[in-house]
């Protein structure tokens, strides 16, 4: 029996728990953001806009309240792309104070549209500094992971088939009608995979690569949840596709009870490095609370909670990882990369071309 990886589980429970924390703790240094009697009650409430995969242990959230006096409320807005879209649409009437979950494939739009205020935490770990490039001081890196094609090892073993290894393998007739991915127009993993194909095949070659995937029967879902938990043969829905777009960490969550084997694997030559960010929303009612929450996300306690709750690597490389990750959830040694500025400038045109190529 295996544990099924689900980046989206637990959100409803967490929101309810966070709301229940309104009586926990006493105001700390962060609660001094508003000293007026009329604003003091409001200043203790901080609204965090997140993607659907946000999750953090109740005890860790409780520590934030105990340390700062702020009471967090979490509002989910879908995938990372949907989060950015909603922030742009509600720019004149912001949904919250802070945002978590904008990734490097959508960061450029968030920065360029003015929906974020400048803020750089003083305790930014050294391992996070490279991920701040191109963010104009408006987004703070919190975690990272590799978006990769995952394989249902048991499915391939049962049919005595060799696993694919490279992007080119996915387009071979041997793997026809076996791959499901998520759309780059509506999914951050989908956008990451599109960027990977651009990085691997070049500005003038990725279109033909996607044509070959289309001709080889690739299925495109709206988001990661449908692709992994509905269509993937090793997901909860026991679908018919043994190859799926997911994360290099996913195999750590399909581990056997004795911890010796996993039923899935990540194809590490297909990976794109994804970084997730947090930021202060422009026009926030409680910017001090937003900054305090971002500071807390970089704390050792919060960083150590990320792998088990959101299946991503903490941005702080000094934080210990779960034991099974070294064996079953390695980061790619040489992930495919695309410059953040190139992503920002070309993202919309790439999505348009992709739509015409694959869904047109």
What CATH class does 11-145+274-326 carry?
alpha beta
- Averaged pLDDT of the chain: 88
**pLDDT one-digit tens code per residue, 81-98:** 789 989 999 999 999 999
Q: Quick check: do 11-145+274-326 and 147-272+332-359 share a fold?
A: yes
| CA quadruple 258, 260, 266, 268: dihedral sign | positive
Q: How distant is the alpha carbon of residue 7 from its chain centre?
A: 9
Give the C-alpha distances (Å, rounded to integers) separating 133 from 27, 107, 130, 167, 350. 34, 11, 6, 28, 22
Q: What angle do CA 292, 293, 299 make, to 5 degrees?
A: 90
Look at strands 264-266 and 140-152 and give their pairing: antiparallel
What CATH class does 147-272+332-359 carry?
alpha beta
Look at strands 45-50 and 71-76 and give their pairing: parallel
DSSP letter (8 states) at residue 122: T
pLDDT in tens, the chain (360 residues): 333 444 443 333 333 333 333 333 333 333 333 333 334 445 799 999 999 889 999 999 999 999 999 999 999 988 777 899 899 999 999 999 999 999 888 898 899 999 999 999 999 999 999 999 889 999 999 999 999 999 999 999 999 999 999 999 999 999 999 999 999 988 888 999 999 999 999 999 999 999 999 999 999 999 899 999 999 999 999 999 999 999 999 999 899 999 899 999 999 999 999 999 999 999 999 999 999 999 999 999 999 999 989 989 999 999 999 888 888 999 999 999 898 788 888 989 999 999 999 998
CA dihedral 120, 122, 124, 130 (to 10 degrees): 50
Q: What angle do CA 3, 10, 265 make, to 5 degrees?
A: 30
**Domain residue spans in the chain?**
11-145+274-326, 147-272+332-359
Q: Which helix (H) or strand (E) holds 85?
A: helix 80-89
């Amino acid at each position: 029996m295996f544990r099924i990886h689900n980046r989206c589980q637990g959100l409803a429970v967490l929101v309810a728990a966070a709301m229940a924390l309104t009586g926990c703790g006493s105001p700390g240094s962060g609660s001094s953001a508003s000293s007026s009697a009329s604003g003091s009650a409001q200043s203790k409430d901080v609204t965090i806009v997140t993607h659907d995969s946000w999750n953090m242990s109740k005890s860790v959230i409780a520590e934030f309240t105990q340390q700062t006096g702020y009471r967090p409320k979490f509002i989910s807005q879908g995938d990372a792309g949907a989060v950015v879209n909603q922030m742009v649409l509600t720019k004149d009437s912001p949904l919250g104070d802070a945002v978590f979950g904008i990734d490097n494939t959508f960061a450029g739009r968030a920065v360029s549209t003015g929906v974020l205020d400048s803020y750089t935490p003083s305790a930014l770990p050294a391992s996070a500094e490279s991920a701040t490039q191109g963010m104009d001081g408006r987004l703070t890196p919190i975690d990272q992971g590799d978006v990769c094609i995952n394989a249902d090892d048991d499915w391939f073993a049962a049919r005595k088939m060799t696993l694919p290894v490279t992007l080119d393998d996915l387009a071979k007739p041997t793997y026809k009608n076996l791959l499901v991915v998520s759309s780059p127009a509506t999914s951050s993993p989908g956008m990451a995979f599109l960027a990977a194909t651009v990085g691997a095949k070049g500005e003038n070659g990725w279109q033909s690569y996607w044509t070959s995937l289309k001709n080889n029967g690739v299925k495109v879902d709206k988001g990661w949840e449908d692709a992994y938990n509905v269509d993937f043969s090793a997901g909860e829905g026991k679908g018919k596709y043994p190859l799926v777009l997911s994360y290099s960490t996913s195999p750590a969550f399909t581990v056997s009870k004795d911890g010796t084997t996993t039923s899935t694997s990540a194809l590490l030559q297909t990976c794109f490095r994804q970084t997730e960010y947090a930021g202060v929303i422009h026009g926030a009612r409680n910017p001090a609370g937003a900054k305090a929450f971002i500071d807390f996300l970089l704390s050792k306690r919060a960083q150590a909670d990320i792998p088990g709750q959101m299946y991503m690597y903490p941005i702080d490389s000094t934080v210990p990882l779960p034991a099974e990750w070294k064996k079953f959830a390695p980061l790619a040694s040489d992930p495919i990369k695309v410059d953040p500025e190139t992503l920002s400038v070309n993202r919309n045109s790439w999505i348009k071309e992709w739509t015409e190529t694959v869904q047109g």
